[in-house]
Amino acid sequence: MKKMVKWFCVLSAVAAFLIGIRWSLMPVLAPPQGLYSGTEVDLIHARYPHSLIDPAKVAAGQSGDTFGWVMAEMKARGIVLLEVTGVFLGGVLAFRMVRRRKIAANNAPQDMLASSRP
């Protein structure tokens, strides 16, 4: 039963990571394009209402180019994905260290008692 739970957790983490990769690459996989009556900033807001990078600030330096926003958004999403992955792996490592210390602490007195017996 423990192995089944462990494999379920591992597969869930891998699936979450793959979904995160898809989320971070979404501006490149489905760039803001198509017919739209307005500016390119309005097009980005229409296609991506929840973006990490404000397209108005990126588009201010470039005229008529959404590629700068796409790259900036993808980079920001990739950094968020790496940070979330790091926090997850740090939590797993901390949990394992604490668990091993508890097991070692529970086994240490028994070892000392066993060695003192003739």
Over the stretch 62-99, which tens digit does the pLDDT of each residue have? 555 678 888 888 999 999 999 999 999 898 889 888 87
pLDDT number for residue 108 = 59
Greater model confidence, 23 or 63: 23
Distance CA 27, CA 48 (A): 9
DSSP the chain: -HHHHHHHHHHHHHHHHHHHHHHHHHHHHS-S-S--SS-HHHHHHHH-SS-SS-HHHHHHHSSS--HHHHHHHHHHHHHHHHHHHHHHHHHHHHHHHHHHHHHHHHHHHHHHHHHH--
pLDDT number for residue 92 = 87
Instruction: Label residue 59 by pLDDT band (50, 70, 90).
Output: low
Backbone torsions φ then ψ of 101, nearest 5 degrees: -65, -40
Q: What percentage of the chain exceeds 90 in pLDDT?
A: 18
